Amino acid sequence: HDQNQAQILTIQNDLIYLLSLIANLLDTADIQIKKPQTNSTINMRNIVGTQWKEKMELVGKLLLLLNSYNSSEIRQRAVDLLKKIIVQLSIQDLTHVALHVKTTHEQAAAQSHPQLGPYFPRRKQSTNSTQQQ
């Protein structure tokens, strides 16, 4: 039992560190983009703006980290990283993010277990089955 808790803590710390690294990378890219136009600035803008194909997948995974079962530090790092990514997204990508969030919440609302929620499940939320007992 203690070994499992230690492993979970290690994984959480690694995840927090990884989120911090990605945030630092985006900060560095943002600094490069804000510099006067050079070839490296143009390349950085293309990489962050158009060539970063996994960004939408990362946004989806960051949204999943916002649920209440994760530590508050993980949730805060995920929110901070989402803010940095969203300001760099195109209108088309922002539309996809909004539709993804809307669809996921609609699907969760249609389920018989509302406490499971897509991004914001609540601990200790009673279900219909526990209220009937």
pLDDT at 79: 93
Mark residue 117 as left, alpha or beta (left: phi above 0; alpha: psi -120 to 50; beta: remaining). left
Distance CA 121, CA 66 (A): 9
Q: Model-level pTM?
A: 0.67
pLDDT given for residue 52 in this prediction? 72
Predicted pLDDT of residue 119? 58
Q: What is the mean pLDDT of each run of 10 residues along the chain (133 residues)?
A: 85 94 86 70 59 81 85 93 86 89 79 57 50 42
pLDDT, residue 77, reads 95
- Closest Cα partner for 65 from 88, 82, 87? 82
Predicted pLDDT at 125 = 52
Are 117 and 108 in contact by the 8 Å Cβ rule? The answer is yes
